[in-house]
Amino acid sequence: MSNLKLLDCDMHVHGPNSGGVSKNMSIPLMAEQAQLKGLHVLATGDCLNKEWLVHLKNSLIESNGTFSFKDSEIQFILSTEISDLHNVHQLCYFPDFASVDLFREKLIQQKVKLDGKGFGRPWVRIGAEKLAETVIDECKGLIGPAHGFTPYFGVFAHFNSVQQCFGSMASEIKFMELGLSADSDIADLIESNHSLQYFSCSDAHSAWSDKLGREFMRIRMTEGSLNELKKVLDLKGERRIETNIGLDAREGKYHCTACSECFAKYSLDQALKLKMKCMQCGKSIKRGVRDLALQLHNPESKSKPEYRAEYVRSIPLAEIIKIAFKAENAHSKKVQTVWRNFVEEFKSEIAILLDVPIENLIQKNPEVGKKIQAFRNNWVLFMAGGGGNYGVPIICDSLKELEQKKKELKNKLDCHSELQAQKILTEF
């Protein structure tokens, strides 16, 4: 179809009324930053919250099922995240404000608190099956698990499959968000996931350049509307999720099995022998996403579906600049100044990371350009995250340095730690 385009989409963000979200989050700021990032489509987040919903209605212009902000090229899809009866977080998308208002009314009838600071992501005493009936059948929307592998609020924290979670509505569930600690390969270890398409989204709580769009999808569709997204999930025509672009799963804070207090890492066998209590500090050990997926993996399961999108691992440009200059954080004045200079010259962060000729980047700034070249060459190691602590990428300047660092840090990389070499009492 000649009118199909490749659109870069971030389908999970939050407004300022959710906990831990920047008070500066607004549609104008999100549109501005999304354009600098190189995104085309954003979810609105938190559309059930009264204050944010008023902001959305005052900010967005609706035209034939699409929503946009003034002259911005960014399109928005109405969305929210809900915590259901079992504390599983679900992503919901709606076609228009009328369907949002209808869903709000139904939740208010159930005495669900939707309004005020801290209620951007509502908690409801309704199971996923009933939620799906209401969102899909009555509100003509979409629903699927948010950050499916998160140890506290992911679907796999409470169920062995998405289908088990949604019961009789399971066949209507078309997607699951992977979350920062998983990727497509990890999710596909579980055969029941093969019927789902995977969303890679930022779950951004601010519009900083290392948060908004840190994970996104490259989707082939005509426009950023719910109607088109439904066709993508039904594989209508040539519409499809072409690529999932996201963090290396090792950078996610729940990738490895690790202590939730001191972040010491363990093999799952070792953690189970310790009854999930840390041998260093005595606090609880959280099972990592990688180990969870391996537990549910059936070695005889079928291969992943042919339509599965390629997963491309990325690192936010601000994080690469931070590493290049050994800066304290990605939000420092120096890092943000260099980031903006790059984006103003090369149009967008996504283009810089994936497309701009490397010699142009090196000419602009040798230190940063060489780190981007190393990133593209995959000369990257990880002190992997776990227990609630983000992983740390180590970008090497050459293949030789990469091999040297592997030897130097062999007991600290990925999901290994020095504890792995120690025997615990029950192993003697």
Helical (H) or strand (E) element with 144? strand 142-145
In which region does residue 21 sit, left (phi positive, over 0), alpha (psi from -120 to 50) or beta (all else)?
beta
Percent of the chain with pLDDT over 90: 89
Residue 419 reports pLDDT greater than 70: no
Residue 423 reports pLDDT greater than 70: no
99: its two tokens: 């369907």
Domains, the chain, ordered by start: 5-251 (3.20.20.140), 316-383+392-408 (no CATH)
- Helices 317-325, 333-346: inter-axial angle, 10-degree rounding: 130
Rounded Cα–Cα distance for residues 34 and 332 (Å)? 20
Query: Could you tell me the pLDDT band of residue 425, with boundaries at 50, 70 and 90?
Result: very low
Residue 303 has a pLDDT of: 85
* β partners of residue 192: none
Residue 420 has a pLDDT of: 53
10 Å CB burial of residue 22 (0-12, 13-18, 19+) is middle
Residue 250 has a pLDDT of: 96
- Helices 27-37, 50-59: inter-axial angle, 10-degree rounding: 70
Residue 325's SS3 state is: helix
Residue 428 has a pLDDT of: 40
**Residues 179-200, mean pLDDT to the nearest whole number:** 97
pLDDT digits (tens, 9 = 90+) for 382-417: 999 999 999 999 999 999 999 999 999 988 888 877
**Residues 9-35, mean pLDDT to the nearest whole number:** 96
What are residue 283's phi and psi, to 5 degrees? -80, 175
Query: Could you tell me the pLDDT band of residue 301, with boundaries at 50, 70 and 90?
Result: confident
The answer to whether the beta carbons of residues 38 and 351 sit under 8 Å apart is yes
Amino acid identity for residue 352 in this structure: I
Report pTM. 0.94
Amino acid identity for residue 91 in this structure: L
pLDDT digits (tens, 9 = 90+) for 150-162: 999 999 999 999 9
pLDDT digits (tens, 9 = 90+) for 248-282: 999 999 999 999 999 999 999 999 999 999 999 99
Residue 27 reports pLDDT greater than 80: yes
Count of alpha carbons within 13 angstroms of residue 263, beta-carbon side:
13
pLDDT digits (tens, 9 = 90+) for 63-115: 989 999 998 999 999 999 999 999 999 999 999 999 999 999 999 999 988 88
Amino acid identity for residue 136 in this structure: I
What is the pLDDT of the chain when averaged over all its residues? 94
**Residues 6-16, mean pLDDT to the nearest whole number:** 97
